[in-house]
Structure 1
């Protein structure tokens, strides 16, 4: 779920509105005297679609590597600090416009371990291939398998809902028994295993035209891996 803030100039609609959102960069708003706010929304949706691959790569990194401070990262962030062991880290800067390109990589730490990895990265940088999976490229360039998060760390990374990015739902009487509850639905795809509040993913599935409903179950696709999901819903909300 993404939110966009629109501020109208006093000369609107002659002057374009200003737009802000939790994205790595704001799109170049196309505006004319005949434009309306619905055109801004449409351009924002198209911009989000272009960013899906960028976010997918970041989610894959968060899920598969030992990312420092990965809890609830802002969707505008394009950097990840990764623990590579021996009290050393790499900071990857992913290009949101071209997410499969070679990222900028900064090495943090002291000693021969970091110096060696820095030299290996520089020597192998030409081996980066856009058609390869991102993590495979990292392994190839660094000539080592980066450490994965421990089970405890992995669980901590997945307690936030993949839709609202919060650990718990708000305390709200309208949510009934779900008020203040944590994530209670997990994607069954073992390579994804993204956690959600059933309320959140239910609302998200309702917004997708291809979602089917049978009694109190919604059938659709995971917003992260696109594998089939079946989510029980509270019919009282329908």
Structure 2
């Protein structure tokens, strides 16, 4: 098995192969009060024993997930070089009492809640509904001496989630599920607002958001979009807003928003507040299938991509309002014999409507 790591919504999960050993890991998104956190299978915890603080420090200061994974691999390779540790990574099977305890606890919470179980029975997934009947998955990694030691929990939540036990309290699956329900209750308002945006507005991205993602990019029309990031602990307050598109097109929207900021009402839906402040109706999901859906596109009309070197389209045609990356449009115009150049500026025709368009040449 080779490395298999997938990043979605800011979180990274999968398997890391070092030597002959596979380590399951999950890196939570960097957002939130606790910052990025590393979770893993019992084998990973055994290999990193005594190095947890150093690994966490490397994660907090890493500039990219790939860079941190490379450093983590180096740490594991050094640990595996010791024969004693390499031998300890293949522990004996848990005693029969471990399996008896696990089966009894799953009986107690109901087998219908069990949606996943690893072949070695050291990791299980529980489906738990919140008060709005939204399904959430809680993953529990069980140490070999469970329940003497607590399981490690991970879930798609906007804030870090860790199991905590009172002095003398014995860990159990039922208690872990109860703690998870408490964590779900804290985010009901946030998910209500995000579900309303997903249902009533045209969300350009993310296409398949997980419950730990607090942002939505909404189509506005005129080849513009709005990136809305809700506050996890105060979702009805004024969110972080960023207009995306050509400056000529988004400038009027920005002015309208700034002139009406005092009209934000926390008791009103975020979507309705945005419509009131912008003075327009947000396009609905059905607009994506309409005949004029192309009018809402925000991708570059030449390369058909949204981001180029991390930047969205920043030039728009005065005639048809099609958006372009400056580099894409400059390259296109330079290839046309009819384009004129004066100093560092190109004068030509729009790719689509043939109206005059000019742009600075990209060096």
TM-score, normalised relative to structure 2 = 0.39
Distance 1:148 1:30, change over 3 A: same
Partner of 1:170: none
Q: Which residue of 2 aligns with 1:20?
A: 154
Cα separation, 2, equivalents of 1:30 and 1:3: 18
Aligned to 2:111: none
Q: Structure 2: 5+ residue runs without aligned partners?
A: 1-134, 291-363
Higher deviation after alignment, 29-38 or 75-84: 29-38
Q: Is structure 2 residue 91 aligned with structure 1 residue 91?
A: no
SS class of match (2:153) = strand
Q: CA separation in 1, counterparts of 2:216 and 2:149?
A: 38
- Which structure has the highest strand share of the two? 2
1:34 aligns with 169
Instruction: Tell me the SS of whatever aligns to 1:23.
Output: coil
Show structure 1 runs of 4+ deviating over 6 A.
none
Q: Would you say how many aligned residue pairs link Structure 1 and Structure 2?
A: 154
User: Given the superposition, is the C-alpha separation of residues 137 and 15 from structure 1 closer, same or farther in structure 2, using an over 3 Å criterion?
Assistant: same
Tell me, yes or no, if structure 1 residue 3 matches structure 2 residue 137: yes
Provide the secondary structure at the position in 2 that maps to 1:91: strand
Partner of 2:260: 124
Call closer, same or farther: CA 1:34–1:136 in 2, change over 3 Å: same
Q: CA deviation at 1:15?
A: 5.7
RMSD of Structure 2 on Structure 1 (CA)? 2.4
In the TM superposition, residue 120 of structure 1 has moved relative to its aligned partner by 2.3
In the alignment, which residue of structure 2 is the partner of 1:62?
A: 198
Name the residue aligned to 2:247.
Answer: 111
Cα displacement (A) at 1:89: 0.7
Q: 1:142 aligns with which of 261, 278, 288?
A: 278
Evaluate the alpha carbon distance shift between residue 20 and residue 113 of structure 1 in structure 2; reply closer, same or farther with a 3 A threshold: same
Q: Distance in 2 between matches of 1:74 and 1:118?
A: 29
Q: Deviations over 1:68-108 (max 9, x none)?
A: 14543212211101110111110000112211111101110
CA 1:119–1:75: 2 relative to 1, 3 Å:
same
Corresponding residue for residue 192 of structure 1: none
Higher relative contact order (CA 8 A, sep 6+): 1
Larger Rg: 2
Q: Which runs of 5+ in 1 are unaligned?
A: 155-238
CA distance in 1, matches of 2:241, 2:287: 26
1:52 Cα deviation (Å)?
A: 2.1
2:185 equivalent in structure 1: 49
Change over 3 Å in CA distance of 1:12–1:151 after alignment to 2: same
